[in-house]
Structure 1
């Protein structure tokens, strides 16, 4: 029976010689929805309607480049021998932590130049970021990548997964952990948590720091199941970064609680 299982077609459609992959369609859809929600929330919080659209014009390409650079650095033993492959991101090889580093730095510089609080932008964007990540993981599903170690079919059936997910986790004769799904569900839960928490009117910056902590905790445990981790010796880089981010976010949260600026609240309307 297993030999008859066919994976889902990763090609969404073709335009002449151009093949459009589901990965790109899903990532693009996630970005579009995330941008829409950020713009709408930004308008409620007193930001100009073009603020996030202008930010994304810079953040998206920089995030893609930084995600690729991050990946290449930790796979340098391969790319130093195949330098022509470095720009070929369509063959896979981007890292979400690299994208987050690039986009956060871009947002910081952008906020400074616009005279807007970075923490205000970060708080507004936090639910959108994690929602985009939740949706984007389904691009990995279509590519049959970012999965975990070997499991049995009965294990997947006991999770009460839809048949199409079980079948897609059958890769080259073996079933694998659907770690893309674990992370997607964790991120969706984080999205709804952040939507709820922003009504609490936390101090400015704390919504974004909560996102960093939530995502990093989930990523740490899920990364331990994956088979494609970027490594430093015997250590999984994503787990090390996750630990550092949790510690750093908690430290910043505690530090800002001790400063007068932390009295500014998420629902405050002033831009500065």
Structure 2
């Protein structure tokens, strides 16, 4: 666990930025593999640029507005210091979805098929990205009250708040959950499913896992029902994705019945 890995001259190479960059590159490589023999492959490089910019903006604004507004409102210049951490995955997802909607509309691509293709790569990248949070000492858990847990070193945000107390490994478990979802999506990928089901399933499962793990988090404020902003966001995501999934499944069944009637 190290915030700054090494220096190039006077320039610090931070673990957070390096791992995030690695997660993006690995996700792009996986997406290119998943999109082989499809019309989407040729669009991935240009879409990635649009998606990364939109995701970083969404991730930072989500963190500033919903997680640490009291701090950033008092230190507005710190909003630009993304190398210090403070990027919300949920905000990045919102930014990425916005980029996908815009890109598929502009290039006349089928949206649901596009995001279904990219869903496994997205979850894989999220799993790798949580390593960045661990190395940076953010997205940490609350004290475990026992000898079990992660003890963060001096120089991390976690140490500044809790000192040398063992904390729940919330960010590590979330990264592992992302990889589990990645495996589930790969198992579903070759099945005949309604368009959009792969992507919506990934978001629903992630939201359920995030909601549960937020009870262990010790770095975000809590609101009504003692829920964090991420839990409120996750609950909305679950309701929305399940509703859309129900509509897609219903339409798929109706189309299947219509096809059978035409054949008869």
Q: What TM-score, normalized by structure 2, do the two folds share?
A: 0.86
The answer to whether the 8 A contact 1:203-1:263 is kept is: no
Of 201, 217, 227, 2:208 maps to: 217
2:259 equivalent in structure 1: none
1:187 equivalent in structure 2: 178
The answer to whether the 8 A contact 2:17-2:83 is kept is: no
Where relative contact order (Cα < 8 A, 6+ residues apart) is larger, the structure is: 1
Aligned length: 247
Deviations 1:220-246 (A, max 9, x none): 000111011254454311111111111
Q: In the TM superposition, what are the counterparts of 1:1-272 in structure 2 within 5 Å?
A: 8-44=1-37, 46-74=38-66, 75-151=68-144, 154-156=147-149, 166=150, 168=152, 171=159, 172-232=163-223, 234-259=226-251
The answer to whether the 8 A contact 1:141-1:168 is kept is: no
Q: Which moved more, 1:138-147 or 1:119-128?
A: 138-147
Give the number of the structure whose residues are more often helix, by fraction. 2
Structure 2 segments unaligned to the other structure (5+ residues): 257-264
C-alpha distance in 2 between matches for 1:136 and 1:262: 40
Q: What TM-score, normalized by structure 1, do the two folds share?
A: 0.84
The answer to whether the 8 A contact 2:188-2:198 is kept is: yes
- Cα 1:21–1:261 shift into 2, 3 Å: farther
C-alpha distance in 1 between matches for 2:252 and 2:197: 14
C-alpha distance in 2 between matches for 1:35 and 1:261: 34
Deviations 1:167-189 (A, max 9, x none): 55894221111111110111111
1:270 equivalent in structure 2: none
